[in-house]
Amino acid sequence: MALVHYPTALACDEPFEPFEPLQAHIAAAPPDLAELGAAVARWLRAQALDVGRIARIERLAGGLSHLTYRLRCDRDDLVLRRPLHAQGGAQRLRREFALQAALAPHYPVPEMLHLCDDPHIAGAPFYLMRYVPGIVPQRNTFAHATPTPEDAHRLCANLVDTLIALHRIDPGALGGGDALPADHHPAYLRKRLQHWSSRYHRLKAWTLPDLRWMAQWLIDRVPSHGPVRVLHNDWRLANLVFDAAQPTRIRAVLDWEFAALGDPLMDLGIALSYWVEPGDNALMRRYQWQPSHLPGMFTREQIADRYFAATGRSREHWPFYRVFGLFRYLINLQELHQRHVIEDGEEKAFLTRIWALAHYLNWTCRSLTLGV
């Protein structure tokens, strides 16, 4: 899997948390690989899991909310995922595991194997899944090969169609328990918007824009009704595994930690907020998180057109969902700025001027809301 740096979406279904001191958001150092490998090997033996010796263990970079490791065993190829922080995140991890297990008969997800609640094995609760070989796009390239314009076009069509397939799954078919978060309703979304706005302005640096106007604009326009489906909430090329032999085919959808129930157009709005196309402002291209600029790739309008044509959804409230996606993106940028610029994270040099992109997106949203 490729090294990909990207913003991590906030979980819109988590309980409201009190504000914590800034130091509470700094992750502990990742565990030593040799110690982690030895601890996991002992745990595997205790669980009578016959995978043989762990021949190699490596950290897979790309996410900012989880630590992910590939365990190459004699008789299997596994992936271990655990929260970034030693404390907290267990409930979300259990739900992520349960949701993927429930989705497996209906949707392309990795095979879930075992969940461990003991934080002493890997430094935090974790789960094991089977490794899915294939291509995971990087920030500016499609791994080691660039698709032809024709393949890029087919790839984008599959990208949209796979999202639509998720939104056609009846949540009731997935069972209850830990697999699904609380139901979505307009009052709940308004509370989440208020919470995100309050947290943003509690932690934001003076260089970042004021988003209270945007939060209020969204709160005043939350649609009163709409379909309720499972949302991925972080739909990007970097969260998809493409078939190495047939690069336009999606083998698996990864990173379900922010999945929730809600109107599918929320997923589409978030997906388009990350999508950069060749004619975009230089700031958008500077901070792109996926190779959506390659020749043959869809534009944002083409993605939306294919989605609406296939689903028959009305565009009546589309400006709300488009601004909602950008609002969530701006919240993510604040989290990145806090973690890497203010708290001296590993991506400080790259993200030092991310405030300029935040102001550009704020201006974009003002343009989108004119006359709406």
- Residue 357 contacts by C-beta under 8 Å, 6 or more apart in sequence? 283, 284, 286, 287, 333
Provide the residue range defining the domain that includes 219.
149-369
pLDDT band at 87 (very low <50, low <70, confident <90, very high): low
For residue 313, count other CB atoms closer than 10 A to its CB: 18
Tokens representing residue 198 in the block: 């309050």
Count of domains observed in the chain: 2
Domain assignment present for residue 253? The answer is yes
Q: Mean pLDDT across the chain, nearest whole number?
A: 85
What is the average per-residue pLDDT within 345-352? 80
Tokens representing residue 295 in the block: 């020749």
DSSP 8-state assignment for residue 359? H
Tokens representing residue 151 in the block: 């393949």
Mark whether 104 and 236 lie in a shared domain.
no
pLDDT band at 8 (very low <50, low <70, confident <90, very high): very low
Domain end point (choices 96, 130, 164): 130
Mark whether 185 and 99 lie in a shared domain.
no
Q: Report the alpha-carbon distance of residue 350 to residue 333 in Å, rounded.
A: 12
Mark whether 158 and 120 lie in a shared domain.
no
Q: Is 318 left (phi over 0), alpha (psi -120 to 50) or beta?
A: alpha
Mark whether 157 and 299 lie in a shared domain.
yes
Q: Report the alpha-carbon distance of residue 173 to residue 331 in Å, rounded.
A: 32
Mark whether 126 and 161 lie in a shared domain.
no
Check pLDDT > 80 for residue 18: no
Mark whether 81 and 155 lie in a shared domain.
no
Identify the CATH number of the domain in which residue 253 sits.
3.90.1200.10
Mark whether 223 and 167 lie in a shared domain.
yes
pLDDT value, residue 277? 95
Q: Which of 176-190, 196-210, 305-319 has the highest mean pLDDT?
A: 305-319
pLDDT value, residue 367? 94
pLDDT value, residue 203? 80
Q: Is 26 left (phi over 0), alpha (psi -120 to 50) or beta?
A: beta
Check pLDDT > 70 for residue 127: yes
Write the pLDDT tens digit of every residue in 31-85.
788 888 888 988 988 888 888 888 899 988 666 668 899 999 999 999 999 987 7
Q: CA end-to-end span of the chain, whole Å?
A: 43
Mark whether 290 and 178 lie in a shared domain.
yes
Pairing of strands 240-242, 112-116: unpaired
pLDDT value, residue 344? 78
